[in-house]
Amino acid sequence: MTYYTTFHSPFCNITLVGNEQGLTNLHLHSDEGKCRFEIAAQWVRNDPFFTDTIEQLTDYFSGQRHTFAVKLNPQGSDFQQRVWDELTTIDYGELVSYKEIAVAIDNANAARAVGMANSKNPIPLIIPCHRVIGANGRLTGFAHGLTIKKKLISLEQTGTIPC
């Protein structure tokens, strides 16, 4: 059985989707970017199922949480899984390049493929793809839009939510 819930965060509404194996999706309703998301008819709304995850996200947005203890179950290719696993090693407030992720997964020439895997990340924030930037230090690509990416980075680096 797949469950979902939607709640309001300081940045936007967030939809969580998961099952007994873990969280499968976290969608930021930012009204920006290329990421589209629909709740499937067969999913069952179950707010209590996500209580702990919502509490952890709320703590993150308040600056009180820097790591997550959420059981994850993202669906993707072996390559995507390797990239997403590597993303979870990026410390709170730290920024790394797509190239650095490619090198870390022993595929130094795969920076573009890392970018594609990032764009398919079904659990942003918890799998922190917003912490990945271009080799030139510029903010590039975020499926939910650069505005929210800038805000997430600012939150992590300054401890405050920007206007």
Distance CA 128, CA 16 (A): 15
pLDDT for 78: 96
Which pTM value belongs to this model?
Answer: 0.93
Angle of CA points 93, 21, 55, to nearest 5°: 45
Q: What is the pLDDT of residues 94-103, one digit of tens each?
A: 999 999 999 9
Q: What is the pLDDT of residues 105-147, one digit of tens each?
A: 999 999 999 999 999 999 999 999 999 998 888 888 788 888 8
Do the beta carbons of residue 11 and residue 151 sit within 8 Å?
Answer: yes
**Please, what are the domains in the chain?**
3-61 (3.30.160.70), 78-158 (1.10.10.10)
Asked about 35 being catalytic, the answer comes back as: no
Q: Residue range 9-15: average pLDDT?
A: 93
Q: Choose the weakest-confidence range: 14-18, 46-50, 143-147, 151-155.
A: 143-147
DSSP 72: B
Selected catalytic residue, list 12, 35, 129, 163:
129
